[in-house]
């Protein structure tokens, strides 16, 4: 069974990538060996297209990609592939922005595919994005006026003591319309997408496209935006550096992102023969 074709879904931050936001040479070698052995490798990330395409090309992928935690499912190198883009309604987005003003958050940002709208000029937010996503173009100004189309996602940078109040507000007033997740430390960003959007949505669509059964889907993750994907995959793998909730539902726990956890698991599970780098 392990010699049959598998679909391998890779989260980026805290999973495939080291803490320096790089793919280690060892893990890259093993992922490429899996591809050469006939397995299908995809990226499934909360990041937008612009912030993940470099890693896609670095691995030499020619497969669909899941961005914005499932709100965008597309194929970067095949324009005929059926794109699924599920933004949230702008009315919902504007209500959330209003709530952010009432709760006096540090900042709020909206993404429409690869366009980024930032409510207030903010070096900290810009540094976060420039460290993770080079050359991000920002449209800066009050989102209540600037944002004029359905956003793919909204990112909120709350004050430290407002995180609980903000998430409670989102649950109390918008739970039927949106999904919200918290980025891992040190950023504490709250990310919001349309209700029903998560990485497993993309995984199901891509697995169906390639005719891969659920038991031959291997998915790796570390944070709460990976929960549905790890739960859905026949072989759900949590990173050792991942959150406890994810580890509790995963089929396996591998080594950390700093210790080639993705590569180590794939080499063993798929019985790949890989020379040492």
Catalytic center residues: 11
* Torsional sign, CA 102, 85, 130, 186: positive
- CB contact at 8 A, 240 and 256: yes
- CB contact at 8 A, 217 and 7: yes
Q: What tokens appear for 166 in the block? A: 């903000």
What does the alpha-carbon distance between residue 238 and residue 230 come to, in Å, rounded to a whole number? 8
What does the alpha-carbon distance between residue 245 and residue 184 come to, in Å, rounded to a whole number? 13
The DSSP code for 89 is P
Q: Which residue has the tokens 């698991």?
A: 265
Nearest to 195 by CA among 67, 64, 52, 89: 89
């Amino acid at each position: 069974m392990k010699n049959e074709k598998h679909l391998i879904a890779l989260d980026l931050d805290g999973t495939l990538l080291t803490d320096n936001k790089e793919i280690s040479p060892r893990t890259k070698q093993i992922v490429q060996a899996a591809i050469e052995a006939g397995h299908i490798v995809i990226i499934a990330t909360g990041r937008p297209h612009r912030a993940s395409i470099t890693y896609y090309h670095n691995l030499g992928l020619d497969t669909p990609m899941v961005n914005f935690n499932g709100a965008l499912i597309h194929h970067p190198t095949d324009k005929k592939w059926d794109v699924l883009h599920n933004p949230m309604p702008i009315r919902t987005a504007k209500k959330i922005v209003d709530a952010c003003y009432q709760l006096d958050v540090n900042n709020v940002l909206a993404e429409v595919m690869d366009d980024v709208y930032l409510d207030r000029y903010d070096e900290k937010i810009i540094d976060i994005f420039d460290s993770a996503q080079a050359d991000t173009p920002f449209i800066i100004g009050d989102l209540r006026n600037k944002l004029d189309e359905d956003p793919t996602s909204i990112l909120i940078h709350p004050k430290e003591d407002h995180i609980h109040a903000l998430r409670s507000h989102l649950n109390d007033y918008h739970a039927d319309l949106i999904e919200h997740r918290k980025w891992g430390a040190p950023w504490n960003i709250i990310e919001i997408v349309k209700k029903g959007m998560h990485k497993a949505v993309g995984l199901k669509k891509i697995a169906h496209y390639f005719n891969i059964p659920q038991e031959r889907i291997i998915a790796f993750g570390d944070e709460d935006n990976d929960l549905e994907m790890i739960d859905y995959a026949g072989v759900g793998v949590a990173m050792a550096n991942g959150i406890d909730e994810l580890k509790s539902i995963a089929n396996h726990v591998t080594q950390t992102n700093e210790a080639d956890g993705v590569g180590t698991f794939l080499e063993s599970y798929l019985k790949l023969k890989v020379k040492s780098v």
